[in-house]
Amino acid sequence: MTKEDKISIGLLGAGTVGSGVLELLQKNAASIAQKVGKQIQVTRIFVRDLEKYAHLAESYALTTDIDDIVNDPQIDIVVELMGGEEPAKTLMLYALAHKKHVVTANKDVVAKYGRELFDAAEANQVDFLFEASVGGGIPIIRPLKQCLAANEIQEVMGIVNGTTNYMLTRMSQQGMDFADALAEAQAKGYAEADPTADVGGLDAARKIAILSSLAFNSRMPLDKVHVEGIEKISKHDIEYAREFGYCIKLLAIAKREGENGINARVHPVFLPVSHPLAAVNDVFNAIFVRGDAIGEAMFYGRGAGKLPTASAVCADIIDVARDIVHKGASRILCTCFEETKICPIEKVANPYYIRLLVADQPGVLSAIAAAFGAQQVSLRTVVQKQRVGEYAELVLITYAVPDSHMRMAMQTLAVLPAVAEVSNIIRVEDPHFS
C-alpha cells in the first residue's frame, strides 16, 4: 500500500489508552476509512522495553528510537499516550518540529505547556489536538472550541476526575471508607499511576486550567487554580450532607467573578441532590457549561478507561486525517487571544459547612457565633447531634461569605478554648444560597 492510500500513525506508549486506540482503529477500520476517505493505520510504536511489548511486534514495528518515527516519511500523525510531563513534552515538540501532526491525551503537558505546543504546531502548519485530555471519552474540547464558539461563556463547572467521583459514590452508597474506595478505583484502572494527583485534586486542576483557557479565551495558569482534594472527606460529612439534602462531589469550577476576573478552583462541595451534577456517579464525568446564547448545557459520559478515552483520541486522529485528505491543517490552534484578570480564591464567596468538636458546656455556642459575627459570617443552620468522647459535635452551615472572611473567622475559632477540633470545612455550591 502506498502513502497515497493510507494515513500512518506513530504511537508513543501502548498502555491502557494506547492499547485501546490500537483496538478501536482495528475494530472499526472499515467505517473509519469510509468516513475519512483513506485507511488509518498505526505502523510504528515507540516503547522503552521491547520485551514487555513483544506481543505487538507481529502487527507493528516496535522501536526504542524516536527518530525511527519522526524521520519516517510515511508517518503523518504522532499520537502521544505515555503520560507525564517528560519525555512526553519534548517528544511532542520534536514531532511537531518534524512536521508531524500531534494528538495527545496528556493534560499534564497541555495544562502547563499548551502555548508552547500550539506555537510549534502553528509554526510547522500541523494540527495539535487533545480532546481526551479532559473528560476521557466526553466531547468537551471540540464543543468549546467549535460548537459553542459563538457564545460568551459565563461558567464551566464539572466533575472531571473519575477516580474521586467513583470513590465518593462508593463511600456514599456503600458506606465504604476512603482507603477501600481508593483501592477499588486503582484496581479498576481509573486512578493515575500515582493516585495523589487524583485524590488531591491536581488531576482535576489540570483539566479545569485547560477548560478555563478555552472557555474564556484567556490562559489560566495551573498555579493560579485553587486546589483542594477529598482526603479529609469522612463518612460523617457524607451523612451530614445527606441529612441536609446534599451530596458531596469534587467539583472543578471556572467562573467569571464580575470585575474581579476569572476564578478557577477545584474542591469538594456540598451539592443539592436536585442539581444535575449530583446524579453523576461512579466513574462518570460531566461538564456543565453556561453560555449567553446556549444557556445551560451538560456533557456527560465516561471520564476515564481504555475504550472511552480511545474514542476521544481516535476522534482527534480522524479529524487530523480529514485535514490531511482535504489539505488543511492547524485551523483551530490557540484560542487564548485575551488576557483577562485572574480572580484569587480569597474574593470568591460561598456558603460553608463546618464540623467542629467543642466543649459541651453553656456559652460555647454564643462564643462561636460571636467569632463568626465578627467576620460578618451569618449562620443558616446549627446542629448538635452527637457526643464524641467528652466533646459535642457541632455542625454549622453559613450563608455566602468571601473566602477571606471565612479564613479569618476560622483562625479566631481555632484558638477559642471551647473548640477542641475543626474537623472539616467544605464549601456549599447551592444556587439558592450563593
Q: Which among 17-25, 159-167, 228-236, 404-412 is the span making contact with ligand HSE, rule CB under 6 A?
A: 159-167
The smaller minimum CB distance to ligand HSE, of residues 67 and 194, is found at 194
Please name the residues in contact with 144: beta carbons below 8 A apart, sequence gap of 6 or more.
Answer: 153, 156, 211, 214, 215, 289
Q: Identify what 211 binds: ligand NAP, ligand HSE, none; CB under 5 to 8 Å per kind.
A: none
Q: Is there binding between residue 131 and ligand HSE (CB under 6 A)?
A: no
Q: Does 192 bind ligand HSE (CB under 6 A)?
A: yes
As measured in angstroms, the least distance from the Cβ of 125 to ligand NAP is: 25
Sheet bearing 101-104, strands edge to edge: 61-63, 39-46, 6-12, 75-80, 101-104, 128-129
Given a contact cutoff of 8 angstroms between Cβ atoms, the answer to whether 210 and 114 are in contact is: yes
Q: Cell 483513506 appears where?
A: 38
- Span near ligand HSE by CB under 6 A; candidates 191-199, 246-254, 325-333, 362-370: 191-199
Among ligand HSE, ligand NAP, none, what does residue 161 contact (CB within 5–8 Å per kind)? ligand HSE
Query: Nearer to ligand HSE by C-beta: 304 or 364?
Result: 304
**Chosen from ligand NAP, ligand HSE, none, partner binding at 14 (C-beta under 5 to 8 Å by type):** ligand NAP
Rounded to whole angstroms, how far apart are CA atoms 27 and 3?
Answer: 22
Q: Which residues bind ligand NAP (CB under 6 A)?
A: 13-18, 46-49, 52, 81-83, 87, 105-107, 132, 136, 193, 304-305, 309
* Distance, CA of 21 to CA of 24 (rounded, Å): 5
Per-position b or e across 298-325, b if 16+ CB within 10 A of its CB: ebbbbbbbbbbbbbbbbbbbbbbbebbe
Q: Pick the stretch among 94-102, 190-198, 274-282, 408-416 that binds ligand HSE (CB under 6 A).
A: 190-198
Instruction: Single out the segment in contact with ligand HSE by CB under 6 A; choices: 17-25, 185-193, 316-324, 340-348.
Output: 185-193
For residue 170 the three cell numbers come to 462508593
> Is residue 42 at the binding interface for ligand HSE, with CB under 6 A as the rule?
no
Give the C-alpha distances (Å, rounded to integers) separating 185 from 33, 166, 314.
Answer: 36, 7, 25
- 81 or 368: whose CB is closer to ligand HSE? 81
Contact between 198 and ligand HSE per CB under 6 A = yes
Q: CA-CA distance, 18 to 42, in Å (whole number)?
A: 11
Interaction of residue 246 with ligand HSE, rule CB under 6 A: no
* CA distance linking residue 84 with residue 315, whole number of Å: 22
Tell me how many degrees the CA angle 246-252-253 measures, rounded to the nearest 5.
95
Q: Which residues contact 291 (CB under 8 A, 6 or more apart)?
A: 148, 151, 152, 153, 154, 297
CA distance 316 to 276: 28
Q: How far apart are CA 9 and CA 120, in angstroms?
A: 19
CB of 81 to ligand NAP, least distance (A): 4
Instruction: Give catalytic status of residue 207 as yes or no.
Output: yes
Return the residue nearest ligand NAP (CB atom). 15
Of the residues 89, 207, 249, 306, which is catalytic?
207
| Among ligand NAP, ligand HSE, none, residue 135 binds (CB under 5-8 Å by kind) | none
Nearer to ligand HSE, 299 or 391 (CB): 299
**191 versus 368: smaller Cβ distance to ligand HSE:** 191
Cα torsion angle, 261, 214, 80, 312, sign: positive
- Three-class SS state of 22: helix
Choose among ligand HSE, ligand NAP, none what residue 191 binds, the Cβ cut-off being 5 to 8 Å by kind.
Answer: ligand HSE
Residue 230, interface with ligand HSE (CB under 6 A)? no
Residues forming the site for ligand HSE (CB under 6 A)? 136, 161-163, 190-192, 198, 203, 303-304
Please identify every residue annotated as catalytic: 207
